[in-house]
Amino acid sequence: MTPLILLAEAKKSAAVTDWSDRIGWLVGLALFIALVYWLMREGWKWRGTLQSDLPEPPSAPDGTGPAKLSMSGRYHGSTTAGQWLDRIVAHGLGTRSRAELTLTEAGLEVERSGASDFFIPVDALRGARLDRAIAGKVLPEGGLLVVTWALGDKLIDSGFRSERAAEHTEWADTLNHMINDTEGAR
């Protein structure tokens, strides 16, 4: 007999799937994913607890004056100044969101959808630059507008990306000019 005929004569084929083993592995994988998610959430909460000494960022005062510049884009988070991986999560500063930035004589107003808005008074501004990275976000060179500002006694870098990246240079130049004028008046 040929091997082909022997195969056809087999009464029963081999079991293809052992469902109890497969379900066990899937349940184990789901539990592992839930554990990792829970640990990440606890780490985020712990980081917020460690940063609880930061004061809450101010909200925009009434009558900040006419807008010098405005920008629509994304807020990518805040870090300790000079340490692009040390994310600040206290007071919602670590929450990424869509953002509307408005620069006035009084300072920089950041309106965020889905997160709390905040205001950076002009005397708290320390500098602005074009960069490529902030905690959790890496972009091409100059793809990120990073504003350095003081919150209490801590310097913070906040990263923004405009819908039109060509605006970043104008924003950095205008902010640095405002900061230099303010420092000269002090």
pLDDT tens, residue by residue, 49-99: 888 889 999 888 887 788 899 999 999 999 999 898 889 998 889 889 999
Radius of gyration, CA atoms only, the chain: 26
Counting runs of H as helices and runs of E as strands, what totals does the chain give?
3, 10
pLDDT tens, residue by residue, 59-73: 888 877 888 999 999
The model's pTM is 0.77
Q: How far is CA 108 from CA 47, 48, 73, 96, in A?
A: 26, 24, 15, 18
Specify which residues 109 forms β-bridges with.
Answer: 102, 119
- Tokens linked to 123: 């005397």
